Amino acid sequence: MTLFGRFRLPRLAALALLALAVGLLWLGPVEAYLDLVADGRQRLDKAEATLQRYRTAAGAAAAQPAPGAAALLFPQVPDSQAAALLQETVKSAASAAQVQIQGFQVLRSDAAAGPVRIAVQVRASGDIGGLGRFLYAIEAARPVLYPDNLHVQSRPQQAVGQTGNGGAGAAGTLDFQLDVSAFKSGPST
């Protein structure tokens, strides 16, 4: 045997052991990692397909107004006419609720990327039952009205000759102020 032949056997054994170690490493953590990456890619593809379906559905829904949406918004009229219509709607709600309106202030229109918000600030007075009926009438109105920023202050009644209750009657009058908003479609004019 030659010198080259003597070292061939251990070298082949070392190469076989190295191939076995690489094979075991491939079957163990590397294959598990590759399976994990493939599974993550499948889930990502499924989520991407779902997102695309949602985007398509949202685009179709945005292109068509919802049925009954016209009942929710004021008609497409100039802002001044929409504010007048809002004031008349609030006046009729106050009349039905037996609340006395003391003043209106038209608030600035708010035009976002869609409908235009028209708002008025209402100062009124009435008893607690009238306030409840007034708020209900505003919330039940069509087109939809949104009450906001309600401030209530009681006004004690001055009764001559009453003692023991500080002059305040059981059915005292309330002064209140609130903002009432509505929306109209179209750009602000």
DSSP characters for 84-110? HHHHHHHHHHHHHHT-EEEEEEEEEEE
Average pLDDT, integer, range 164-187:
73
Output phi, psi for 32, to 5 deg. Answer: -65, -40
Q: What is the pLDDT of residue 121?
A: 95
d(CA 139, CA 133): 10
Q: Give exposure, 127-161, as e/b (b: 16+ Cβ within 10 Å).
A: eeebbebbbebbeebebebeeeeeeeeeeeeeeee
d(CA 94, CA 36): 66
Structure tokens at 161: 């000759």
pTM for the model: 0.55
Give the pLDDT confidence of 27-84 residue by residue, as tens digits. Answer: 777 777 888 899 999 999 999 999 888 888 877 665 555 555 556 787 788 888 888 8
Average pLDDT, integer, range 155-166:
56
Structure tokens at 36: 């994990």
